Amino acid sequence: MRINRIRRDLTVLGDELEVPGIGHLPVNAYVLHAAEPVVVDTGLSLPGRGFMDALGSVLDPADVEWIWLTHPDRDHTGALFDLLDAAPRARLITTFAGVGIMSCARPVPMDRVYLLNPGQSLDVGDRTLTALRPPLFDNPSTVGFYDDRSEACFSSDCFGAPMETAELATANDVGYSAPSAVRAAQHLWATVDSPWVHLVDETKFLRTVAALRALAPRWILSTHLPPADGRTAEFLDMLAEAPKSDPFIGPDQGALEQMLAGFEPVG
């Protein structure tokens, strides 16, 4: 993992996953160094990713007060139970639906859960975090938030984009990639991750974009995009065009067989 301290009170724990034919997808978790420290998501559910070691290099896990799970997909929950064990005071912020989804795989300690719905707020000592549902999402329990002190919007999957290289995917700023390439990749990700965007009532969808525009965050901190400082207006314009982007059609069996033919057999 790559550790990027983008502000005195914000650290990115950056990972990435190569998706054949698409690119290198950033997979970020965040540490919000608030008076009551907050960890946002817990990395990939794959062995050997080193999430707890990376977290321990910037913060004693025992000091974590809150774990904000933006939604319980496997690329957000990798070290969740390890962190709950290492942070005995931490409460797990999620939704009623989020608890239900997680409980299908492993029991969630309900005395550690803190249910928070979009529109509700949480005081973490030196700032207020206001829960919000981002305009694009792939899980019904998705809840990001706005931090009124850092002016950061933690947007979960929304605004994500596969990058050309692993280095770009784990960069400390999305500005290392050309704006045109980022926009194209964001539209691709929108159609991969939220294919329903082609079916929406655009008037209603644009209201969700306008609500985020009114909030005017300085930072966009997505799970699947390098940190973006001062790019909010540009990214919201991209979102407004997402319903008109080309639908994603994944490889079929014939394409899979062609891809597999290019690999040497193992063993």
265: in domain: no
> pLDDT tens across 191-236, in order?
999 999 999 999 999 999 999 999 999 999 999 999 999 999 999 9
- Amino acid type, 203: T
Task: Give the number of C-alpha atoms closer than 13 A to the C-alpha of residue 62, restricted to the C-beta side.
Answer: 0
Structure confidence at residue 20 (pLDDT): 87
Structure confidence at residue 265 (pLDDT): 65
Q: What is the three-class DSSP state of 173?
A: coil
Confidence of residue 104 (pLDDT cuts 50, 70, 90): very high
Structure confidence at residue 71 (pLDDT): 97
Beta strand pairing call for 152-156 and 219-222: parallel
Confidence of residue 266 (pLDDT cuts 50, 70, 90): low
Structure confidence at residue 27 (pLDDT): 98
Cα(130)–Cα(112) distance, integer angstroms: 20
64: in domain: yes
> pLDDT tens across 251-265, in order?
999 988 988 887 766
266: in domain: no
150: in domain: yes
Which whole number is the average pLDDT over 111-117? Answer: 98
Structure confidence at residue 233 (pLDDT): 97
> pLDDT tens across 165-194, in order?
999 999 999 999 999 999 999 999 999 999
Indicate the average pLDDT of the chain: 96
Structure confidence at residue 23 (pLDDT): 96
255: in domain: no
Residue closest to 14 by CA, chosen among 6, 5, 3: 3
Pseudo-torsion of CA 127, 131, 136, 140, nearest 10°?
Answer: 150
116: in domain: yes
Which range has the worst mean pLDDT, 18-22, 147-151, 165-169, 233-237?
18-22
Strands (E), 56-213: 66-68, 91-94, 113-115, 121-123, 128-132, 144-147, 152-156
Domains contained in the chain, number: 1
Confidence of residue 98 (pLDDT cuts 50, 70, 90): very high
> pLDDT tens across 22-38, in order?
999 999 999 999 999 99
Confidence of residue 267 (pLDDT cuts 50, 70, 90): low
Structure confidence at residue 99 (pLDDT): 97
Q: What is the three-class DSSP state of 49?
A: coil
Strands (E), the chain: 2-7, 10-19, 23-32, 38-40, 66-68, 91-94, 113-115, 121-123, 128-132, 144-147, 152-156, 219-222, 228-229
Structure confidence at residue 74 (pLDDT): 95
260: in domain: no
| Residue range(s) defining the domain that contains residue 36 | 2-250
Cα(76)–Cα(93) distance, integer angstroms: 13
Which whole number is the average pLDDT over 94-114? Answer: 96
- At how many degrees (to 10) do helices 232-241 and 202-215 cross? 180
195: in domain: yes
Cα dihedral across residues 137, 74, 56, 62: positive or negative:
positive
Q: What is the CATH number of the domain that holds 153?
A: 3.60.15.10
